[in-house]
Amino acid sequence: MSFEFVRKLPTPKEIKDEFPVPEHVMNKKSLRDKEIADVITGKSDKFIVIIGPCSADNEDAVLDYTLRLKKVQEKIKDKVIIIPRVYTNKPRTTGTGYKGMLHQPDPEKKPDLLAGLIAIRKMHIRVMDETELTPADEMLYPENYWFLSDVLSYVAVGARSVENQQHRLTASGMDVPAGMKNPTSGDFSVMLNSVIAAQAKQSFIYRNWEVNTPGNPLAHTILRGAVNKHGQNIPNYHYEDLIRLVNMYNAKDIVNPACIIDANHSNSGKMYNEQIRITKEIIHSMKHSDEVRKLVKGVMIESYIEPGCQKIGEGVYGKSITDPCLGWNESEKLLLDIADLV
């Protein structure tokens, strides 16, 4: 075989025992989890905003950013629930490049996955402890979810992963909302099938165990735009797309119909400033139709301290080293505008 087995990693239990979540943090997370779940199930009409850098590459900058979010959350708490986007695993289209803090705790050094597992857990706990906001992350590797299962309030399954059976089945065992993105092709049926699988009871192999899961009633869709066969971006946040999704949900046996709309990626063509306009158009569509208002539970926005992006090693504090992001000033204003509009 051509695998080089570098070292055996600790189990999730061993990592959790060494780096436990403080009791007061867990109590706060339980309250936040219920508040977020109530939005997905329709018990609450608050609006969810999952916002943060494309990749959480620097713990100090991420904490600086999320502390700023904390201050805004206090101002808009009656209408908006802010979930910090603390993404520590990055899917790469070609399999090369920076794959997130899990792989490289220091983006300028070689991969070290043991150090990465420890770094991402410590960062998530620190975010919760210092900001009282509970984070979202992407489940890039299903077998790694258990290292973070007690620190996440929201999990996204990406466009390249959503057709994978192990991702779908793992999502069925989560007790927090799992957002299933449309695949890069844009196929709504594939996306909805992933929700059906995640909401169903499942039996499968997970981390060398035979496991059963009860199904996750909080699994839902995320619209992130599509790419056609010519490599052109095809947005899917428009009113007509949302009505189509409403009708497709109604035709299937899915509980808690819900959708989060990703304002970046193929919806914006990665033109990060367009996220402002797109978010406001989504809210306008919600006002135009009660069905759309009931379906759309929030938006996902890529944002950091400094606008745009940079190459690894350029050293600008709080600036994305992956996809370009809104800067803080624009992000703060957008959050306040969202609270006024919803």
* pLDDT over 90 at 129, yes or no: yes
Q: What is the mean pLDDT of residues 7-25?
A: 97
Query: What does pLDDT average to over the chain?
Result: 97
Task: Indicate the burial class of 127 (C-beta count within 10 angstroms; 0-12, 13-18, 19 or more).
Answer: buried
Q: What is the pLDDT of residues 182-215, one digit of tens each?
A: 999 999 999 999 999 999 999 999 999 999 999 9
Q: What is the pLDDT of residues 46-91, one digit of tens each?
A: 999 999 999 999 999 999 999 999 999 999 999 999 999 999 998 8
Instruction: State residue 95's pLDDT score.
Output: 81
**Residues β-bridged to residue 211:** 204
Give the start-to-end residue ranges of the domains of the chain.
Answer: 12-341
Instruction: State residue 92's pLDDT score.
Output: 83
Tokens of 190: 């594939």
User: Going by CATH, does the domain composed of 12-341 fall within 3.20.20.70?
Assistant: yes
Q: What is the mean pLDDT of residues 4-24?
A: 97
